[in-house]
Structure 1
């Protein structure tokens, strides 16, 4: 995946501000959807963890012209036990922080796994746009996350739903321990 780091603060915060403004227009146009079909689907990962989907957010059809799958993970500071339920409820308020980014099409929100990591599984239109978003989001996540816990993976040319249906499409080398957190092994 190469070196991962956030965008420079000014660039990241300008991108987030532009996203928030775009999101309000999308919400006013009723273009943001919260389908329920995938809620409670559980994703299993190559590192032995699993997590249920607790929300999906989709813009329009949710399909990208130049698809890529983006995986993001982080661990929240000071969120343990019952506080996870509160976070999942509150997280809907975070929608303006991603829906308006250029290239966003859809996101599956995963609850915390056995290691208290949250994941977002996105379909994005264009891998460069996905990387820009992930590096911008990093600045927001850093405010509430355990230092060193933020990571992302971009899988160019792969639709998120194709990976869910056939996880082998995204499998890297078996010895790639760095990929274990994002490699989906199956659904339940």
Structure 2
């Protein structure tokens, strides 16, 4: 993974605005689903943390033609203790910020881990599209997240559920740097 950071402000906010408009069209056609297949499942990560899936969002079948796995992590500013439960309920309102981006197929929403970090674990259609989304989302997350807490990882060519089921599928030359996003076996 190379240097990470947000897109230029104008480009990022235009992408978010376009996503918003597309989301409402998808909602009107009943294309957005909230399956419960993964809800309650705990995902453990190579850095020794883990969290439960509290929501899943899927567009259509949720399967990508050119699959990649995207993991985004951030730590919210000022959200501690009981405020985490409030954030999880409110977060449904954030759906228009991602579901209408080109290439979105599905997302697992993870509750905060032992370090107070939230993760989204996505299946995306196309690595370039996933990167564009992550760098656009960065601008939104920067408004509410602790500085320096936002990161993302993209695993091209692999479906999200396959990466979760068998972490050995992912070869990484820097396993320590990838510990925050790599799932561990037995989750």
d(CA) in 2 for partners of 1:95, 1:142: 17
Once the two structures are superposed, residues 71-107 of structure 1 have per-residue CA deviations (whole angstroms, 9 ceiling, x without a partner) of 0000000000000000000000000000000000000
Once the two structures are superposed, residues 9-62 of structure 1 have per-residue CA deviations (whole angstroms, 9 ceiling, x without a partner) of 000000000000000000000000000111110000000000000000000000
Structure 1 residues 86 and 128, CA gap change in structure 2 (3 angstroms): same
d(CA) in 1 for partners of 2:61, 2:102: 15
d(CA) in 2 for partners of 1:142, 1:15: 16
Tell me the equivalent position of 2:57: 57
Tell me the equivalent position of 1:181: 180
TM-score (norm: length of structure 1): 0.97
d(CA) in 2 for partners of 1:184, 1:19: 29
Q: Any gaps of 5 or more consecutive residues in structure 1?
A: none
d(CA) in 1 for partners of 2:8, 2:175: 29
d(CA) in 1 for partners of 2:110, 2:185: 14
Matches within 5 A, 1:33-182: 33-173=33-173, 176-182=175-181
TM-score (norm: length of structure 2): 0.98
User: How far apart are residue 186 of structure 1 and its match?
Assistant: 3.2
Question: Please, what is the CA RMSD of the aligned residues?
Answer: 0.9
d(CA) in 1 for partners of 2:21, 2:165: 34
d(CA) in 1 for partners of 2:95, 2:186: 25
Question: How many residues end up aligned between the 2 structures?
Answer: 187
Tell me the equivalent position of 1:28: 28
d(CA) in 1 for partners of 2:25, 2:54: 25
Structure 2 counterpart SS, 1:129: helix
Q: Any gaps of 5 or more consecutive residues in structure 2?
A: none
User: How far apart are residue 171 of structure 1 and its match?
Assistant: 4.5
d(CA) in 2 for partners of 1:119, 1:128: 20
User: How far apart are residue 163 of structure 1 and its match?
Assistant: 1.1
d(CA) in 2 for partners of 1:108, 1:21: 22
d(CA) in 2 for partners of 1:108, 1:5: 22
Q: Which runs of 4+ in 1 moved over 3 A?
A: none
